[in-house]
Amino acid sequence: MRDGGSHPFFLRGLLMDTAPPENLPPGTVVGPWRLTCGAGRGAYGAVYRAEKVGQEAAGPVALKLSLHSREGRFEREAEVLSRLRHPGIPRLFDRGEWVGGPWRVAYPYLVMDWVQGRPLYGWARAQTLSSHQVLGLLAQLSRALQAVHEAHCLHRDVKGDNVLVKPDGGVVLLDFGCGTYPEAAPLTVGPLAPGTWPYRSPQALRHPWVHHRDGAPYEAGPHDDVYALGVTAYRLVTGVYPPPGTDLEARRGKRRGLRPLRQPAHSLAPWVTPGLSALIERMLEETPEARGSARELAEALEAEAARARPRGGGSPQSSEAVRPAPAVLPELPGRRAPVWAALAAAGVTFMVTRHLPEASLQGFTGMGPTATGTVGLAHALVTAESLAAPARFDGSEWSGKFLALEIPKRPFAGQRRPPCNRPATEIRGGCWVNVPGPCPKDGYEWDGKCFLPVAAPSRPDTSNYP
């Protein structure tokens, strides 16, 4: 007897119990929860839409299941969420372990609010944004961060992919998998905790190079979350990432030539009001103290939103409301085009899974969109091509691959094959780009030089976001 599916009852139950945690079929029971569909996957967990058995009328929840047995970050995420109560943060309903998978081991899971919405950047591409609207969204995010910090916790992975915009315009900060609190036991082996590279503060980016000998861990603080919010805001309104770890003091000659210059948001997106642009610059300040607390930023953003409100409460004027698009950064006078600019001209896309020294980042401004969903990905596909075009590249084939020191005998899946456009060169059947300066941990050495693999471009992603 069959249940209408392709497998008998007993076989279907067996498949549910032995399927890997990232590929559980609908109907699988995890604790008191029944999975109804998949909703996303990240480096540490898979998210499913679920409902409580016997209480289906209560509505759906988000069940996040670890991909690894005894994952300490799930315990930490659960502890962080249990300390937070804010409308812009999912509520934690339940936690437990599911025993199953090919090896019949225990995988931790969390159950949270099901948030219906779209990831921030995808949502923005479908909107006609105004400064007033952006200020309101950023104020909501600042209030959520305020709640996190006042509970003595940190998010440590604030970014557009971890923000959902609900149909009513409310925003929710997701994915506390990188979150921490003062008494949390250390989980990271290395100087930096997991996070997303272009959102790291200047202090975090410099730390591995300052402490490359002693390996001292970086102590993140609320100011790192604020900086990441600034990167999110900059990317939201301009369509590009700011150069990593930059500040406007470089324009006045301080450390000239050592770091790329950041253009204020309003210079790339003229619809951005001076007040919004100034607040974004404040969040991106070099000095952590100058960025202000999440509470101070929320108050400033709310005040500026009130000033930017359209007269009469109507829709913003067409001259101020536009759909954001990736900007083309103006060439800076009097500076030699660095290697990253050459890569941009060649349309080179390459993989960076950790960090590059600041000296190797001159002229870098763009990073390809990371995967969206309710779980942040631990890898990122870096593209210099976003300097000049809004093309998107699919990094799914790179997921979970961590680069070693020796160039493999065969190209990676998704790596560009010859002919290789300059400045890329062919090595062992794949296209590689030489990176000057100290070779990062993600780099490969060949003939005494450091190289990164070039990713083959794919078709633009035109699918709708959940």
For residue 429, report the phi and psi dihedrals to the nearest 5 degrees.
85, 5
Question: What CA–CA distance (Å, rounded) separates 271 from 250?
Answer: 25
Nearest to 110 by CA among 168, 165, 42, 161: 42
Residues 377 and 42 sit within 8 Å (Cβ to Cβ)? yes
Q: In the chain, what is the greatest distance between 2 CA atoms, to the nearest angstrom?
A: 78
| Other beta carbons within 10 Å of 168 | 7
Residue pair 78/112 in contact (Cβ under 8 Å)? The answer is no
Q: How many CA atoms lie within 13 A of 307 on its CB side?
A: 10
Distance (Å, whole) CA 291 – CA 221: 12
Q: Are 367 and 455 in contact (CB under 8 A)?
A: no
Tokens at 229, concatenated: 């919010």
The H or E element spanning position 169 is none
Closest CA to 205 of 224, 222, 188: 224
Task: Compute the distance between CA of residue 447 and CA of residue 455 in angstroms, rounded to an integer.
Answer: 21
Q: How far apart are CA 246 and CA 255, in angstroms?
A: 10
The span from the CA of 140 to the CA of 298, in Å, is 7
Distances (CA, A) of 389 to 240, 344, 386: 10, 10, 5
Annotated catalytic sites, by residue?
Answer: 157
Distances (CA, A) of 115 to 62, 80, 82, 172, 374: 8, 18, 17, 8, 9
- 428 residue type, one letter: R
Are residues 326 and 386 in contact, defined by beta-carbon separation less than 8 angstroms? yes
Dihedral angle, C-alpha 236, 238, 240, 246, nearest 10 °? -100
Query: CA 293 to CA 290: how far, in whole Å?
Result: 9
Q: Spell out the residues 6+ positions from residue 334 whose beta carbon is closer than 8 angstroms to its own.
A: none
Residue type (1 letter), 243: P
Alpha-carbon distance 237 to 125, whole Å?
A: 10
The Cβ-side half-sphere exposure at 128, using a 13 Å CA radius, reads 8
What letter would DSSP give residue 454?
A: B
